[in-house]
């Protein structure tokens, strides 16, 4: 190793050590008060617990420590503890968070109030029944194509599909959405998670399905969304749900149902509202229409 490299390594480790010792200095011997919801669908109350902080402790660690040492019957759902599975979503001080990704030191000087996600029925303590979401998912027309896999697809056609595929289904966007949480529009509104899924399907170059009618007139209810962006604010994987999923879908719905020029064109061509899958079409629809493609 050259001198400069060794020097750099030394600097890096020294810098790390300093941060490390700072953290130890701030967390050493500190205790945090957690108020955790204890109860079920019938009702419940907050119960206060005090724990001693450990360096790097996340709220899930604190809850599991309480479960191990103070309240063995405390119910909490978790799995990967790495912000990948989306199981441990809950509300911390009134905002949806992944328990495994939220450090207790973020709440220094404040009490930490942990509740289950409230847009869905509580089963026990911090566990909610999110099965409603799987029912909605089943109602969305799945990926539909007349082509035989494996497909040849081009990077330029699929680059927009990476972002929606990052979703870990933590359902925090569903929880923070006031249409579900406050207005209880569950029977007529799919929620941000399923707009992300619908956007992925609608923009897929090989998909031939049509979900615009579902989104506008059916179970989707995209027009009930008033784009206040709470879903984007809470997404733990950083999906720009409103800008890149909901608004593009609203624009497609506007194309089909609210644009007088496009309505006139449809009348001339003799096509009904909501009968297209977006405007760009797919390779197979273009092939049927005799449009030459590169692929």
Partner 1 sequence: MAYGDIARSTTGVLRRLPWWTGPIAVTAALVGFGIYVFVTVMLFDRGEYENYLSPFYSPPVGGESFLPAWLSPAIFILWLPLGFRATCYYYRKAYYRAFFWDPPACSSKAQQRELRGPEHYRGETALFVWNNIHRYFMYGSFVLLVFLTIDTVRAFLPEGSFGITLGSLIFLVNVSLLWTYSLSCHSLRHVIGGSVDCYSCVKGGNARRKAYNWLSVLNRQHALWAWLSLFSLLITDVYIRLLLAGVITDFRLV
Task: For residue 137, count CB atoms less than 10 angstroms from its CB and return exposed for 0-12, middle for 13-18, buried for 19 or more.
Answer: middle
Distance of closest approach, residue 193 Cβ to partner 1, in angstroms: 16
Q: For 111-254, list the strands marked E by DSSP.
A: 112-115, 122-124, 127-128
Place of tokens 């669908």: 41
For partner 1, the closer of residues 38 and 240 by Cβ is 240
Dist CA 38 CA 48 (whole Å): 10
Q: Which stretch binds partner 1 (CB under 8 A): 16-24, 30-38, 51-59, 86-94?
A: 86-94
For partner 1, the closer of residues 64 and 158 by Cβ is 158
Q: Quick one: which of 104, 112, 170, 179 contacts partner 1 (CB under 8 A)?
A: 179
What are the structure tokens assigned to 10, written together? 């030394």
Residue 209, sorted as left (phi over 0), alpha (psi -120 to 50) or beta, turns out to be beta
Name the pairing type of β-strands 31-40 and 43-52. Answer: antiparallel
Q: Quick one: which of 123, 157, 210, 263 contacts partner 1 (CB under 8 A)?
A: 157
Dist CA 244 CA 162 (whole Å): 11
Q: Does 207 bind partner 1 (CB under 8 A)?
A: yes
Dist CA 260 CA 258 (whole Å): 6
Q: Quick one: which of 93, 145, 213, 273 contacts partner 1 (CB under 8 A)?
A: 93
Distance of closest approach, residue 54 Cβ to partner 1, in angstroms: 22
Q: Does 94 bind partner 1 (CB under 8 A)?
A: yes
Q: Quick one: which of 57, 100, 140, 234 contacts partner 1 (CB under 8 A)?
A: 234
- Contact footprint for partner 1 (CB under 8 A): 91, 93-95, 115, 118, 154, 156-157, 176, 178-179, 181-185, 202-205, 207, 221, 223-230, 233-234, 240, 242-243, 247-248, 250-255, 257-259, 277-283, 286, 291, 293-295
């Amino acid at each position: 190793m050259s001198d400069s490299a060794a020097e750099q390594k030394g600097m890096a480790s020294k810098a790390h050590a300093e941060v490390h010792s700072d953290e130890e200095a701030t967390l050493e011997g500190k205790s945090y008060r957690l108020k955790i919801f204890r109860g079920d669908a019938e009702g419940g109350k907050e119960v206060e617990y005090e724990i001693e902080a450990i360096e790097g402790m996340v709220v899930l660690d604190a809850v599991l420590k309480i479960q191990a040492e103070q309240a063995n019957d405390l119910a909490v759902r978790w799995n990967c503890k790495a912000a990948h599975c989306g199981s441990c979503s809950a509300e911390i001080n009134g905002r949806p968070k992944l328990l495994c990704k939220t450090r207790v030191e973020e709440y220094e000087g404040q009490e930490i109030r942990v509740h289950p996600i409230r847009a869905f029925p509580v089963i026990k303590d911090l566990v909610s029944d999110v099965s409603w979401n799987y029912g909605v998912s089943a109602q969305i027309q799945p990926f539909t194509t007349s082509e035989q896999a494996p497909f040849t697809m081009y990077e330029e056609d699929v680059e927009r599909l990476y972002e929606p595929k990052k979703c870990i289904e933590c359902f925090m966007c569903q929880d923070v959405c006031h249409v579900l949480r406050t207005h209880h529009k569950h029977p007529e509104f799919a929620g941000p998670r399923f707009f992300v899924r619908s956007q992925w399907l609608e923009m897929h170059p090989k998909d031939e399905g049509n979900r615009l009618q579902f989104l506008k007139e059916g179970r989707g209810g995209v027009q009930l969304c008033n784009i206040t962006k709470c879903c984007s604010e809470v997404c733990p994987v950083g999906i720009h749900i409103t800008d890149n999923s909901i608004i593009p879908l609203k624009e497609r719905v506007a194309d089909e149902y609210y644009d007088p020029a496009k309505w006139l064109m449809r009348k001339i061509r003799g096509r009904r509202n909501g009968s297209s899958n977006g405007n760009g079409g797919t390779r197979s629809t273009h092939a049927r229409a005799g449009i030459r493609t590169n692929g």
